[in-house]
């Protein structure tokens, strides 16, 4: 593959998954559409495969994908899509060899054409499934076809009930089928049905649930004939071999193991009588040893077999040496036996072994042993010749397969599928060894075969170049972490992740059949160096944590030693119980010690707990007896007439309970519940006596609360200050006379009085604001200089307002006086003063502070605000002054009114 083609692939061949996915979903390139099956079979991303599958509507291609794809999820989707397309088709030939029960069930129930449903029904044998199909089928011909296939009586009975009203004719047909077997014995009939189901499985005509069959058989086995029992046992064993792969494999392995052990036993028995065997018998035993399958033998059996072979070989060599049989002859014979055990042999091996024997026996001293060995060797040569002829076809087939795989390997290499290409080349290498390096077809296509290996090597170099880029990224990521003060656990996790990614790349490059690992040593050293630079600063942290873990481990060991060494009989029961509780706590905190120690410490802790629990059980029994006696005494107190005396005795029993000893927790809870119940009955009697008193107190408290509620309600309705004072006085008198002892409502009582005071203050404030409002209105009237309106106001005002109104009428506008009033208002309310008047503001502040320091009495804020407002409304203002200071005037008036 050229570098230009490598970097200019179409988007659907991009190494980026998202790019490939988008291209497969949207592109309409002819090359892409042709490559959709290949993408579905070989793309590394399951998302891309699904996207490619969604664009295929050809039923033949979908069927192939469902049968051959290596991804289970893709196969299921392809089968589902194929099934939905077939449900609209009339091509019944396409499903004749279909073995997918789920697809057949869908077609039998959902297909649009009755012929397709008939074909699907003909391939379904599950009785329950057929019954469900019959309930929903509308076509009469299909109904009859389904009914003919239903042979199970329970299925016919199940579907007959809903069909009784739904389809009377079909119901009658089912009833006639059910009545045909009434003359048979019920048990034998069911036994016959079970046997037939199992035999149908054996003949590959149906399948069944073995567990259900077994349970049915167990229910009727006692009442069945011996003939049926024998028939069932044989059919069940055969069906289980077919339906249960694990059972089948286990059975075959067991048979193979038994055969191998039987052969081994014969060989070992023969080795025990080695001195009585002649050379031919020894040679026969050695041949038998070669036929034993050692893959199913245990290591001990293999050692026995090896010892027997060594013994036979030593004895054979001894006998042959006595008769001067060349050692090379025996070696040639042994090699011949090994070759005969191979599945395929090469033609040149026949000539090699003949030549080797001639060289080994040339000039050898003739003897009976040599003659025997020669006869056996000749027999082996004949077998080898037969095997050469028998394996000739296999060699030719292997050579042809090798040639056929060249194009497939080159295609995978061209598409960049290195792993698949390596698997194919490994298969080619195996086929080449099977066919023989000198096979005519192999020799003829030698250049093409070698070219596959050359192309594979180039592709692998490209992969390594790409992976080295990733390795460099891993190194750069670690370099960026050096000196960043990252938490040691995060550093350790990053190092672990980096190592996993690194080794994943190496595993990716380590293809099937590789003899040596492929590693870039320079980059590996760089990776180890930066890893070391990252890990070394974290070592103190892990050492400290290890020290903490070791400290906790020492605590656990101390607890274990204490439990294992304590003298049980002379120890206090509470001390022993404390030890077991501590041990249980340590069991729950084993994650705080080094992982390698957890299993061992858990085992020792449980051992210590079991040791102490044995002694505690004796004390537990004694304490339980004492506590049960205390429960009986507590129950007897129920008959005591003097309740106070009974309660005092119950308190004494409670004190004795604490000293009675300890029992197991679940027993303690059970006994304490009984003891407490007995005591609670006494205390409940005392509680009943005080209940009436509590109820009276509650009623008294309720009456007090009602009085408070009524006062608050009346206070809200009252607007007159005299009435408010009367309500307050009445509440004070009532409370002191009747409810003064109720301390819980004292705060509520004080709150009610405060509410009354607040209401009075509001009434007074309202009067003040009302008088101010009248003065304010007269100030506005005077400002308008309407003499008639002024006289009217003077004539209608009250006597209390008369003097103030006359003073305002005679007042003359004075801007300086107005500035002083505004400045005083700003000082009082804390508002800002314009810069032009700041000097006057400072002078006023000094004056006020000096008066306060001199001890002059100062009125409250509300009184000062009221005086300022009155002074303002009594002062005449020029229109120009009001216009220039309108915002300042309104702001100050609003602030002063807020203080009121």
**Per-residue pLDDT tens digits for 702-748:** 887 887 788 788 777 777 777 777 777 887 888 777 777 777 778 88
Q: How confident is the model at residue 615 (pLDDT cuts 50, 70, 90)?
A: low
| Of 433-442, 768-777, 844-853, 888-897, minimum mean pLDDT range | 768-777
Compute the average pLDDT of residues 123-129. 80
Higher pLDDT, 10 or 4: 10
CA within 13 Å, CB half, 444: 8
> Does 689 have pLDDT greater than 70?
no
Nearest-angstrom CA–CA distance, 386 and 383: 5
CA-wise closest residue to 623 among 579, 584, 675, 583: 675
Higher pLDDT, 453 or 479: 479
Q: How confident is the model at residue 2 (pLDDT cuts 50, 70, 90)?
A: very low
Q: How confident is the model at residue 1 (pLDDT cuts 50, 70, 90)?
A: very low
Cα-Cα-Cα-Cα torsion 194, 198, 201, 205, nearest 10 degrees, comes to: -40
> Does 80 have pLDDT greater than 80?
yes
Q: How confident is the model at residue 97 (pLDDT cuts 50, 70, 90)?
A: confident
Indicate yes or no: pTM above 0.85.
no
The alpha helices in 415-565, defined as continuous H runs, are 418-435, 440-444, 446-481, 488-509, 521-535, 539-565
Higher pLDDT, 742 or 692: 742
What's the pLDDT at 701? Answer: 80
Mean pLDDT for the chain overall? 76
| Of 136-145, 309-318, 344-353, 756-765, minimum mean pLDDT range | 756-765
Q: What are phi and psi of 151, to 5 degrees?
A: -115, -10
Nearest-angstrom CA–CA distance, 66 and 73: 10
Compute the average pLDDT of residues 785-811. 74
Nearest-angstrom CA–CA distance, 725 and 733: 12
Nearest-angstrom CA–CA distance, 445 and 442: 5
3-state secondary structure of 831: coil
Which tokens is 643 given?
């309740």
* Inter-residue contact 49 to 25 (CB < 8 Å): no
pLDDT tens-digit profile of 227-256? 677 777 888 788 777 777 777 777 777 877
Nearest-angstrom CA–CA distance, 652 and 673: 18
State which H helix or E strand residue 75 sits in.
helix 72-86
Please report how the helices 101-110 and 114-122 are oriented relative to each other, as an axis angle in degrees rounded to 10.
150
Distances (CA, A) of 547 to 25, 485, 543, 586: 58, 22, 6, 17
What's the pLDDT at 737? Answer: 78
pLDDT tens-digit profile of 818-869? 888 878 888 878 888 888 888 888 888 788 788 778 776 666 777 777 777 7
Which tokens is 584 given?
């249980």
pLDDT tens-digit profile of 737-795? 777 777 777 888 788 778 777 776 676 666 666 667 777 777 777 877 777 777 777 77
What's the pLDDT at 280? Answer: 66
What's the pLDDT at 183? Answer: 40
pLDDT tens-digit profile of 205-232? 677 777 787 877 777 777 776 767 777 7
> Does 354 have pLDDT greater than 70?
yes
Q: How confident is the model at residue 7 (pLDDT cuts 50, 70, 90)?
A: very low
Q: What is the CA radius of gyration of the chain?
A: 54
* Inter-residue contact 527 to 495 (CB < 8 Å): no
> Does 515 have pLDDT greater than 70?
no
Q: Give 701-710's long-range contacts (Cβ < 8 A, gap of 24+).
A: 701/742, 701/744, 701/745, 703/738, 703/739, 704/735, 704/738, 704/739, 704/742, 704/745, 705/745, 705/748, 707/731, 707/734, 707/735, 707/738, 707/739, 708/745, 708/748, 708/749, 708/752
> Does 814 have pLDDT greater than 70?
yes
CA-wise closest residue to 775 among 742, 750, 809, 732: 809
Which residues 6+ apart lie within 8 Å of 815 measured at CB? 877, 878, 881
| Of 103-107, 270-274, 474-478, 697-701, minimum mean pLDDT range | 270-274
Compute the average pLDDT of residues 463-489. 78
* Inter-residue contact 623 to 662 (CB < 8 Å): yes
Nearest-angstrom CA–CA distance, 88 and 70: 28
What's the pLDDT at 324? Answer: 64
User: Of how many residues is the chain composed?
Assistant: 900
* Inter-residue contact 491 to 538 (CB < 8 Å): yes
Which tokens is 258 given?
């038994």
Residue in the structure block whose two tokens are 């005086």? 867
Compute the average pLDDT of residues 40-61. 80
> Does 417 have pLDDT greater than 60?
yes
Higher pLDDT, 342 or 255: 255
Which tokens is 555 given?
């605590």
State which H helix or E strand residue 589 sits in.
none
What's the pLDDT at 6? Answer: 39
Which tokens is 812 given?
């003359």
Nearest-angstrom CA–CA distance, 168 and 209: 32
What's the pLDDT at 556? Answer: 85
pLDDT tens-digit profile of 535-579? 888 878 877 877 787 888 888 888 888 888 777 766 777 777 788
Q: How confident is the model at residue 175 (pLDDT cuts 50, 70, 90)?
A: confident
> Does 367 have pLDDT greater than 80?
no
């Amino acid at each position: 593959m050229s570098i230009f083609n490598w970097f200019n692939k179409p988007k659907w061949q991009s190494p980026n998954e998202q790019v490939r996915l988008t291209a497969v979903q949207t592109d309409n390139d002819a090359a892409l559409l042709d490559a959709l099956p290949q993408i579905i079979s070989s793309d590394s991303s399951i998302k891309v495969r699904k996207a490619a599958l969604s664009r295929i509507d050809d039923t033949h291609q979908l069927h192939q994908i469902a049968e051959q794809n290596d991804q289970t999820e893709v196969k299921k989707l392809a089968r589902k899509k194929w099934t939905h397309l077939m449900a609209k088709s009339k091509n019944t030939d396409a499903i004749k060899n279909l073995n997918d029960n789920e697809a057949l069930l869908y077609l039998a129930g959902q297909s649009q054409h009755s012929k397709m449903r008939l074909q699907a029904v003909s391939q379904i044998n599950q009785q329950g499934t057929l019954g469900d199909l019959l309930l929903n089928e509308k076509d009469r011909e299909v109904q009859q076809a389904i009914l003919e296939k239903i042979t199970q009586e329970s299925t016919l009975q199940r579907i007959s009930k809903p069909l009784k009203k739904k389809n009377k004719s079909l119901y009658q047909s089912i009833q006639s089928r059910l009545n045909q077997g009434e003359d048979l014995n019920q048990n034998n009939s069911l036994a016959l049905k079970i046997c037939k189901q199992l035999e149908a499985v054996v003949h590959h005509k149906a399948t069944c649930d073995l567990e259900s069959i077994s349970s049915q058989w167990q229910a009727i086995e006692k009442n069945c004939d011996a003939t049926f029992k024998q028939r069932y046992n044989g059919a069940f064993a055969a069906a289980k071999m077919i339906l249960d792969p694990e059972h089948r494999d286990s059975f075959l392995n067991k048979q193979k193991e038994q055969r191998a052990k039987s052969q081994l036993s014969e060989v070992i028995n023969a080795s025990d009588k080695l001195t009585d065997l002649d050379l031919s018998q020894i040679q026969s035993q050695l041949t038998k040893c070669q036929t034993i399958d050692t893959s199913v033998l245990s290591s001990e059996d293999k050692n026995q077999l090896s010892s027997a072979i060594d013994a036979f070989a030593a004895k054979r060599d001894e006998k042959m040496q006595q008769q001067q049989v060349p050692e090379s002859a025996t070696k040639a014979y042994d090699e011949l036996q090994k070759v005969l055990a191979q599945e395929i042999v090469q033609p040149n091996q026949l000539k090699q072994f003949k030549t080797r024997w001639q060289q080994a026996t040339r000039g050898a001293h003739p003897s009976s042993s040599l003659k025997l060995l020669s006869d056996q060797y000749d027999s082996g040569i004949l077998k080898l010749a037969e095997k050469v002829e028998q394996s000739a076809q296999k060699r030719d087939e292997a050579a042809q397969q090798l040639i056929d795989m060249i194009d497939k390997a080159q295609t995978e290499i061209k598409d960049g599928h290195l792993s698949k290409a390596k698997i194919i080349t490994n298969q080619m290498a195996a086929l080449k060894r099977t066919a023989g390096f000198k096979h005519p077809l192999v020799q003829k296509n030698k250049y093409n075969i070698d070219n596959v290996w050359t192309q594979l090597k180039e592709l692998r170099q490209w992969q390594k170049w790409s992976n080295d880029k990733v390795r460099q990224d891993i190194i750069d990521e670690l370099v960026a972490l050096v000196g960043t003060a990252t938490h040691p656990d995060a550093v350790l996790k990053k190092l672990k992740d980096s190592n996993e990614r690194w080794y994943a790349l190496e595993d990716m490059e380590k293809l099937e059949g590789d003899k040596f690992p492929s590693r870039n040593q320079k980059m590996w050293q760089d990776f180890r160096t930066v890893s070391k630079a990252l890990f070394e600063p974290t070592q103190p942290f892990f050492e400290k944590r290890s020290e903490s873990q070791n400290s906790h481990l020492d605590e656990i060991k101390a607890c274990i030693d204490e439990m294992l060494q304590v003298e049980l009989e002379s120890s206090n029961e509470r001390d022993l119980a404390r030890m077991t509780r501590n041990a249980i706590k340590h069991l729950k905190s084993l994650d705080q010690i080094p992982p390698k120690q957890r299993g061992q410490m858990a085992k020792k802790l449980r051992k210590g707990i079991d040791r102490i629990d044995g002694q505690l059980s004796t004390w537990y029994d004694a304490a339980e007896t004492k506590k049960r006696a205390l429960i009986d005494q507590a129950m007897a107190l129920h008959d005591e007439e003097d309740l106070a005396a009974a309660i005092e005795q119950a308190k004494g029993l409670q004190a004795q309970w604490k000293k009675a000893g300890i029992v197991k927790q679940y027993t303690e809870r059970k006994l304490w519940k009984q003891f407490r119940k007995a005591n609670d009955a006494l205390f409940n009697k005392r509680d009943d006596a005080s209940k009436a008193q509590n109820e009276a107190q509650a009623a008294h408290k309720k009456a007090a609360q009602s009085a408070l509620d009524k006062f608050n309600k009346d206070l809200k309705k009252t607007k007159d200050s005299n009435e408010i004072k009367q309500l307050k006085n009445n509440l004070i008198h009532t409370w002191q006379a009747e409810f003064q002892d109720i301390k819980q409502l004292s705060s509520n009582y004080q709150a009610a009085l405060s509410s009354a005071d607040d209401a009075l203050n509001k009434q007074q404030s309202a009067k003040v604001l009302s008088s101010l409002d009248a003065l304010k209105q007269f100030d506005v009237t005077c400002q308008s200089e309407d003499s008639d309106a002024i006289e009217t106001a003077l004539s209608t005002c009250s006597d209390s307002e008369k003097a103030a109104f006359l003073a305002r009428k005679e007042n003359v506008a004075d801007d300086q006086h107005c500035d002083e009033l505004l400045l005083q208002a700003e000082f009082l309310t804390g508002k800002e003063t314009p810069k032009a008047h700041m000097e006057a503001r400072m002078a006023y502040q000094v004056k006020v502070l000096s008066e306060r320091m001199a001890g002059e009495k100062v009125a409250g804020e509300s009184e000062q605000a009221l005086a300022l407002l009155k002074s303002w409304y009594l002062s005449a203002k020029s229109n120009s002054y009001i216009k220039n200071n309108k915002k300042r005037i309104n702001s100050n008036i609003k602030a002063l009114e807020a203080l009121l």
